[in-house]
Amino acid sequence: MKSLTGNLNLILQIKKGNSWVNHKMVTDENVTIPSNGLIKLDIGGNYGWNLKNVSVNSPGQYRIYGELKNSDGMISSSWEFNVQ
């Protein structure tokens, strides 16, 4: 297995009606995931979510959307949460 290099985007999105709308771009960086390794998206390197001091105060339905894109395609995932 070889390392994987691509553009990592971590975005805070808010739900408006039936659509997810970008609320804040948290990370937009080129990264390399080492062979047989991982990147901890919560605290890893310079791009970890928790290192960016992101907070939400307005009530609503939110999600963290992450994607890694390169010439081979895209990998994406999300996690939803509510602020009351």
Domain extent, residue 32, equals 4-83
Q: Which amino acid type is present at position 61?
A: Q
The pTM assigned to this predicted structure is: 0.86
Render the burial of 24-56: b for 16+ CB within 10 Å, e for the rest: eebbeeebeeeeeeebebeeeeebbbeeeeeee
Strands (E), the chain: 4-16, 19-33, 60-70, 73-83
Please tell me the predicted confidence (pLDDT) of residue 13: 98
More confident residue, 41 or 21: 21
More confident residue, 43 or 82: 82
Please tell me the predicted confidence (pLDDT) of residue 50: 79
- Tens-digit pLDDT profile for residues 27-70: 999 999 899 988 888 876 676 787 888 889 999 999 999 999 99
Domain total of the chain: 1
